[in-house]
Structures are given as structure tokens and as C-alpha cells.
Amino acid sequence: MRWLQRLGGKRQELDLLPDWQRLTYVCMRIGPRWWATVCQGGRGEAVEVMQALYDQGAEFVFAGEAASAGSAHWQLREALGVVRVERGPQPWTAYPRSQGGDVNVQLLRTSFEEAVNRDGLLVQHFYEGLFLECPELRRIFPRNMDGQVRMFGEKMAELMLHLEDPEYLKTHLCALGERHRRYGVQPAMFLPVAKVLIETLKRSAGGWGEQELELELEWKNLLLTAAELMGYSREDVLAAAS
């Protein structure tokens, strides 16, 4: 297995990548750095490698597949030193399965995987639904949504990866909250956004069946917790919606 990393601040040579365009890979964080390995055996091999690393103690590891390095997860681009970002569908994503652990974390990750892997345009569909449901929010977003769509998709995937790392979430979501306040985001905006996001996830997954009520509650609680870490109190968010 050949692990790739950006070395000495220089772009990683890409001649180690396979000739075909689609990339299947595993990314793992060691300290502050992300490492990646390409899996020529496809998704099955990537999931096996990811799970083996997780079972051996790797805390932050996931599998992915994308149309190209430029449209892959940012963690792969960072490991390879790829600066160019390309348009493309949301990358296929898989997270490890823990033996025991937090059942709610596994439930959330599984539901996210099912949605994003069935609908490569999930984030685009989310924003389409949001602007239809809450047209007054369109003004706080850029005219060209390509960058916003990609950034939100990456943030969602990152949130799922770090659900069990409260210090990481606190640091990164706090900074995200500061940017949201500069854009004029108010507590009253959170629940309408959460509602549309939950409906988009459910629809993209083809429905949640018997787990619908449980998943709706889990996702709502997760998004309220995220709002709190961004500096918007749960009480203010709920009061603004009443």
C-alpha cells in the first residue's frame, strides 16, 4: 500500500495515480496532516482498507471515490497537493463501523452515506429546496453558488467524520459561526434550514422507513448542537421559531 502526502510544501507528483479518471481512495489523518492511498480494487477494497485501519486504532479515516482528484474530498486534495478544484458530483463516501460505540453516531453516518451516495447532487438539491421554501434567504448567498455548494458538501462530510471529536468540532464550528454572523445569519434562520436539509437527506436516501421519526430527531438534535457550537444558543434558535 502506497501512502501519498504533500511533501516539503510542494505538490505531490501525480504519476503514482492510476491512468483512469475516477479515483477510489482512503484518507487518514495523522496529527494535523492527511494521508491518502489509492485503491485500484474499487469501493470494496477501499472499505476493507478503511475498516482495517479503524479497527487498528485510526481515529479519523474514511473511504471516498470521485470523478477526479480535483473533484474529490478536500482531504485527498490536501494529501496530494492538488490546488485546482473541479466541478463534479458529491464524492462517494464511506465511514468505518464501530463495534459498539455510539449507536446514534452510526445511525447518522449511515443515513448520510445513503443519501449522498444515492444523490451526487444532494447539496444542490438542498439549496434549491431552501430557496423555494425560504426565498428571503437567497440574498445572503453568492450569485454563483458553485463554491458554496462544494463548501457545504465538504463541511457536512467533515462533520460526519468528526462526530466523536468534540474539541475539533468546537474549534471549527466556532470559526464557522463567526463567519455566519458577519454574513448576517440570525437564530431564526436555523430551524427552517434544518427542516429543508432533513427533508433533502430523507428524499435523497429514498425514504427512511421505520427509522424516520428517530432519524428526524437525531438530525434535528445534531443540527441544533452544531448551531450551539457556532455560537447560537439552542434556546434562541427554538424561541425564534415559535
Residue pLDDT tens, the chain, 242 long? 555 554 334 444 444 444 446 789 999 988 888 999 999 899 999 999 999 999 898 888 999 999 888 889 989 888 888 777 887 788 999 998 865 555 588 899 999 999 999 998 999 999 999 999 999 999 999 999 999 999 999 889 988 988 888 888 888 899 999 999 998 899 999 999 999 999 999 999 999 999 999 999 999 999 999 999 999 999 999 998 77
Strand partners, 122: none
Burial pattern 176-198, b for ≥16 Cβ within 10 A else e, equals ebeebeeeebebebbbbbbbbbb
- pTM of the predicted model as reported, rounded to 2 decimal places: 0.79
| Domains annotated on the chain, with CATH | 1-97 (no CATH), 102-242 (1.10.490.10)
> CA-CA distance, 50 to 48, in Å (whole number)?
5
pLDDT at 21: 61
C-alpha cell recorded at residue 47: 472499505
